[in-house]
Structure 1
Amino acid sequence: MRPTTPLMALCIAVLPSLSLACGGSFSGFVDGLKGEAIANGHNASNVQRFFANIRQDPKVLKADRAQGVFQRPFLDFSKRLISVDRVKRGQSNAQKYDAVFDRIEKTYGVDRGVLLAFWAFETDYGGFQGDFNTANALVTLAHDCRRPELFRPQVFAALELFEQGDFDPNTTTGAWAGEIGMVQMLPRDILENGVDGDGDGKVSLKTSAADALTSGGSMLKSLGWRAGEPWIQEVRLPQQFDWSQSGLKVVKPTSEWASLGVKPRNGSLQSRLPAALILPQGHKGPAFLAYPNFNVYFEWNQSFTYVMTAAYFATRLQGAPVYDAGNPDIGLTGAQTKELQRKLQARGYDVGKVDGILGAKTRAAVQSEQKRLGLPADAWPTPALLSKL
């Protein structure tokens, strides 16, 4: 039987009260993490070394609270992220790493445009990968009570990487939310899907594009990516249409959408697949059919605006034309969206957090109220809707 060290005794003593908690004393919280790690079989000396210099990072919490960029509507957000230069560099990287992408497409069935878009948005093709201390970021977010269920397991995954020699809690850096490398993967994702894409015997997501892209392809496949299938496709709609049929919850065979007058703007519809109709800025803006692979994007990032933009950019990098922006009705400001969310809550809708972001729950509630009020039920809130409410 392994002898109990003083550190082990301390950690086991605090484990029952702190191992599942968040908040409270930061040092006490860290003691709880140590106790849980040891109870789960990690070497006590390794645990001590890993947590020795852990510090709470207030800049991480500030970044977590300041995600106002996701309040921007799709057209504004996509124009901000997709520049001519970014498209050209994406095309250049597609050629530069052609052999890598060929292997990824053959092995995991993930199109190069999908990974190029993530690579571009996450780190500008590896140019800026974040300078937050990753261990501090993960423990800070696990201690914070907003999303501990997401970040607490990542702390222990980072500890596993440390024990394998692939993570230094003092020097490993990345994004404020603990993601590492060119396509920004969390420690658990690295453990489960990290792949040596360049054949040097190491998984180096910060310095090897081949490793990062191949690992990203492996992760997307593990999340349910379906090989050889599209994700979104821009379409044209007839002027007279039942807009309440739009939204991710209404899924029809693509052949049925075609019978309702939905036509592809480029190429042909994937008639054998189910799809949902998405109107990111209402019935006067661009329209897309979302195929099953589109749902996998939400496993990578839960922001509708980000997902929509990343999916669209991937089609651009695969040769699709620039979207037809249309002429959408004026939307709401962030402050107006918060007011809308409060009004919807007062009517019994679950919109999640009142944050000024037009997420899936808010869109669904908007669509229900539009139907009730006799407005085009396209899930795009306008000042007119806010006034009626």
Structure 2
Amino acid sequence: MRLLPLALVASLLPATVFAQCGGSFSGFVKDLKREAVAAGHSSATAKAFFNGVKHDPKVLRADRAQGVFQKPFIEFTRHLISQNRVDRGRSMAKKHDATFDRIEATYGINRGVLLAFWAFETDYGSFQGDFNTLNSLVTLAHDCRRPELFRPQIFAALELYETGNFDPKRTTGAWAGEIGMVQMLPRDILENGVDGDGDGKVSLKTSPQDALMSGAKMLSNLGWKPGQPWLQEVTIPKGLDLSKTGPSQKYSVSNWANMGVKPRSGSLASGSMQASLLLPQGHKGPAFLAYPNFDVYFEWNQSFTYVLTAAYFATRLEGANVYNAGNADQGLSGKQMKQLQQKLQARGHDVGKVDGILGSKTRIAVQAEQLRLGLPADAWPTPALLGKL
């Protein structure tokens, strides 16, 4: 039977069935079963799939305890990137050279890009998570923080179950529902799963070929441009107009060159290519030009610090030098960052959730206040800025 798209089903049934989160967990699961049947799945299939699903409080604790993202870029990179990880990445590149050759020929994704994700997500497949995936997805969908993200993944897992590629009782992964060596959500597996080793199955947990080919296809479908760079370390001149920096502002590479931005090694990309100048810890710290492919990273993960670290690590695995850490101004503690976000909110800025994490909205607000107060507008919050606010 051809299944109706969930968006169409939503238009035919009462909105409360699809907008609901919270309430009793058992009632929530009953609604999920009704939604599955309405989308064309048999009652027996829905019953078997959801049989025994449990609310997992450990998932919610993990969701609320992502303190690592409060670390500033330099500390975060040193936390994630060790010489051992660099050496293992280069070893894995040699071991799976034929697979990476296929990926580069088919999808145009550089091996360093996939190796970096493989390293950060599961330490090259050595730890893929031991949370029951269905329990994680249903728990997070029931939670009213991000149901729009996780509810569709439940039904993608149901489709995988019907094809024999998901076991509600035994499939495990990360606390947020990602599965396999490069940690893909069920919907991404449905749309981008590739049988890279030719055994007739897509096995992202046990087959590096399947996992890497699938990850490459997903990046390609997200808009990765073959043959183009993604990130490059640069140096910036004194007196640069710092208000032009940040991921939301893009200028041609030739414009950046005219402003005095220079590559730390090699040469800049084509002069007509658009790029953003990123100063993760202000104008005294590391500096990078981010090219259009860098934006694709945010389709994989929304954390600016994680994305920049993954993109930088990919360049390291392809031969780039360790970045120049510079002498960045002192940043804020988690507690101070929350105080800053509250003060920014009081001035009318949208910083999202007050969570002590320097995300993109907080950076934009910081830069605006730095301009207003006559401080270097590099979007890096300091105790001096907090004091002036």
For the aligned pair, the TM-score class normalised by the smaller chain equals over 0.9
Give the secondary-structure state (helix, strand or coil) at the position aligned to 1:19. Answer: helix
> In the alignment, which residue of structure 2 is the partner of 1:350?
350
What amino acid is aligned across from residue 22 of structure 1 in structure 2? C
| 1:361-388 deviations in Å (ceiling 9; x for gaps) | 0000000000000000000000000000
> In the alignment, which residue of structure 2 is the partner of 1:291?
291
Quick check: 1:230–1:293 contact (8 Å CA) kept in 2?
Answer: yes
Identity %: 71
What amino acid is aligned across from residue 239 of structure 1 in structure 2? K
* Alignment of 1:120 onto 2:119: yes
> In the alignment, which residue of structure 1 is the partner of 2:67?
68
> In the alignment, which residue of structure 2 is the partner of 1:5?
none
What amino acid is aligned across from residue 228 of structure 2 in structure 1? E
> In the alignment, which residue of structure 2 is the partner of 1:101?
100
Cα deviation, residue 273, structure 1: 1.1
Cα deviation, residue 250, structure 1: 1.5
> In the alignment, which residue of structure 2 is the partner of 1:220?
219
* Alignment of 1:386 onto 2:382: no
Q: Distance in 2 between matches of 1:349 and 1:110?
A: 38
Cα deviation, residue 208, structure 1: 0.3
Cα deviation, residue 15, structure 1: 7.0
What amino acid is aligned across from residue 187 of structure 1 in structure 2? P
Which residues of 2 match residues 1-389 of structure 1 at below 5 A? 17-270=16-269, 271-389=271-389
Quick check: 1:119–1:182 contact (8 Å CA) kept in 2?
Answer: yes
| 1:139-165 deviations in Å (ceiling 9; x for gaps) | 000000000000000000000000000
Cα deviation, residue 112, structure 1: 0.3
| 1:242-299 deviations in Å (ceiling 9; x for gaps) | 1111001211110110011000001110023110100000000000000001010000
Q: Distance in 2 between matches of 1:88 and 1:129?
A: 20
Quick check: 1:237–1:261 contact (8 Å CA) kept in 2?
Answer: yes
Q: Distance in 2 between matches of 1:198 and 1:15?
A: 44
Choose 320-329 or 19-28, whichever is displaced more: 19-28
Quick check: 1:91–1:317 contact (8 Å CA) kept in 2?
Answer: yes
Quick check: 1:18–1:28 contact (8 Å CA) kept in 2?
Answer: no
The TM-score, its normalising length taken from structure 2, stands at 0.96
Q: Distance in 2 between matches of 1:16 and 1:272?
A: 47
Provide structure 2 residue ranges, at least 5 long, that are not aligned to the other structure.
2-12
Choose 239-248 or 46-55, whichever is displaced more: 239-248
Give the secondary-structure state (helix, strand or coil) at the position aligned to 1:326. Answer: coil
Cα deviation, residue 223, structure 1: 0.6
Give the secondary-structure state (helix, strand or coil) at the position aligned to 2:19. Answer: coil
Q: Distance in 1 between matches of 2:322 and 2:87?
A: 14
Q: Distance in 2 between matches of 1:17 and 1:125?
A: 42
What amino acid is aligned across from residue 176 of structure 2 in structure 1? A
Q: Distance in 2 between matches of 1:23 and 1:142?
A: 9
Give the secondary-structure state (helix, strand or coil) at the position aligned to 2:141. Answer: helix
RMSD (CA atoms): 1.1
Q: Distance in 2 between matches of 1:310 and 1:302?
A: 12
What amino acid is aligned across from residue 298 of structure 1 in structure 2? F
Cα deviation, residue 43, structure 1: 1.3
What amino acid is aligned across from residue 130 of structure 2 in structure 1? D
> In the alignment, which residue of structure 2 is the partner of 1:6?
none
Give the secondary-structure state (helix, strand or coil) at the position aligned to 1:233. Answer: strand
Quick check: 1:15–1:36 contact (8 Å CA) kept in 2?
Answer: no
What amino acid is aligned across from residue 343 of structure 1 in structure 2? K
Q: Distance in 2 between matches of 1:137 and 1:117?
A: 25
Quick check: 1:158–1:187 contact (8 Å CA) kept in 2?
Answer: yes
Cα deviation, residue 214, structure 1: 0.4
Q: Distance in 1 between matches of 2:294 and 2:381?
A: 23
What amino acid is aligned across from residue 128 of structure 2 in structure 1? Q
The TM-score, its normalising length taken from structure 1, stands at 0.96
Provide structure 1 residue ranges, at least 5 long, that are not aligned to the other structure.
3-13
> In the alignment, which residue of structure 1 is the partner of 2:8?
none
What amino acid is aligned across from residue 81 of structure 1 in structure 2? L
Cα deviation, residue 16, structure 1: 6.3
What amino acid is aligned across from residue 78 of structure 1 in structure 2? T
> In the alignment, which residue of structure 2 is the partner of 1:10?
none
What amino acid is aligned across from residue 295 of structure 2 in structure 1? N
